[in-house]
A = this chain, B = another copy of it.
Amino acid sequence: MELFERWESNVRGYARTYPTVFKSASNARQTDENGKSYIDFFAGAGVLNFGHNNPKMKEAIIDFIQSDGIPHSLDTMTTTKRDFMQAFVDTILKPRGWDYRMQFTGPTGTNAVEAAMKLARRVTGRNRIIAFTNGFHGMTLGSLAATANAYFRNAAGVPLHYVDRLPFGHPLEGMEETYQDASSGYEAPAAILIEPIQAEGGVNVADEAWLKEIRQFAKDRGALFIIDDIQAGCGRTGSYFSFDGMDLDPDIITLAKGIGGFGTPLAMNLNKPEFDKHWSPGEHTGTFRGQGISFVAGNVAMDYFKDDSFMKEVRAKGDLMRTHLQKMAGPGMEVRGKGMMQGLDTKDGALAKKIVAECFRTGLLVGGCGSEGRVIKLIPPLTIPEDDLKQGLGLLEKAVQSVMEPA
């Protein structure tokens, strides 16, 4: 650990939350160099939906590398990329009857969001994006303007422009008229950018009726409706998209994190064709747009969505998590979530921090989110064995108890 303290930047964060050096990982377990095993309820911030070192993916990746497949291709065409796209079309788009163009942006969530914001601005000729309180969309200046948290915003060192903010989950109450009135001072937005479930913001789940209201509001204003499903998508909530079945008809969907399957970077926006055509070739680029390993593993991931059995399992595990959380929740605490993204809002940042530390001590990796990190967020790999899941929940319960009632 000395090497990290001596040579790595002071900006490192999780290295402080989990003060050990990890060596290997398999499905829902990580092992440190001292051989201690940790149950992983964090999954690399929601990336590892299919577990660490998913065996089918490992096999496919090794085959790919051994056969000199193309690991890095910018946005040239490769057989590997084609296979991934075909699988995505067949597994995700066609069954929903959806028509989108796939845009592979730079391989990070923030890049996907920046690309979506650019496209919305180009299409509408407007510059303002409506985002929501407690939203999280990334760290580069464009997406950071949409991110709510002051700690991240202040790090910008410059004022952040062109984003207006509405309260997440609150009825619009007359906002329609206000936006309609050219004398109101509210400028028509280029887009509304929303997470149906705010992950970093504190596991806040928007209800369907409100999402529909917002979607209609966007339509009425001539604004694009952009769903950021970067953390809640890819099966996390018990369906491929977190908003499946709500008929929200998004104009752009941003995906990253889980889309590459194995933990290697990939990001993909789904743009409606009528908007996508506003892109000129190469207007938004990025070196690492074409990642062979991510295409290979992402293709394997599609197998999980060929029928509903995996999602059914996820929903069942989600119910189990929820039940346990409600049982362990102390007075004043609140349980929120959907599928296998569940949060325990302790309403107390300092307390939550202690719980996270105690979990780490006893062999469970969890993270805090929301204001002051007061919400314990549970996002284990979707493939976690039931035993590990229960064992992890048990460790969490004990940690909550020990922190609430110090001996």
Contacts and interface: CB of A to CB of B under 8 A. Distances in A.
Interface of A: 1, 3-4, 7-16, 18-26, 30, 33, 44-45, 47-48, 52-53, 58, 61-62, 65-79, 82, 85-86, 89, 101-104, 106-111, 114, 117-118, 120-122, 127, 131-135, 138-143, 145, 147-153, 155-159, 161-162, 164-165, 167, 170, 174, 178, 181-187, 190, 201-202, 256-257, 262-265, 269, 271, 276-288, 291-293, 370-372
8 nearest CB pairs, A to B: A121-B157, A72-B263, A148-B185, A13-B282, A141-B142, A9-B103, A140-B140, A11-B279
Given A9-B271, A106-B108, A182-B149, A68 B26 contact: yes
A16 B217 CA distance: 38
Contact of A152 (B73, B132, B283): B283
A134 B185 contact: yes
Contacts of A371: 181-184
Nearest to A167: B178
B161 A263 contact: no
A343 B81 CA distance: 30
Nearest to A160: B187
Given A165-B185, A170-B174, A263 B71 contact: yes
A161 B143 CA distance: 15
Contact of A288 (B10, B108, B156, B284): B108
Contacts of A185: 131-135, 147-150, 153, 165
B74 A281 contact: no
Given A159-B159, A185-B133, A265-B265, A8 B151 contact: no
A107 B110 contact: no
Given A111-B110, A156-B121, A68 B44 contact: no
B69 A61 contact: no
Given A26-B68, A111-B140, A264-B293, A3 B156 contact: no
A298 B150 CA distance: 35
Contact of A70 (B52, B157, B159, B257): B52
A74 B44 contact: yes
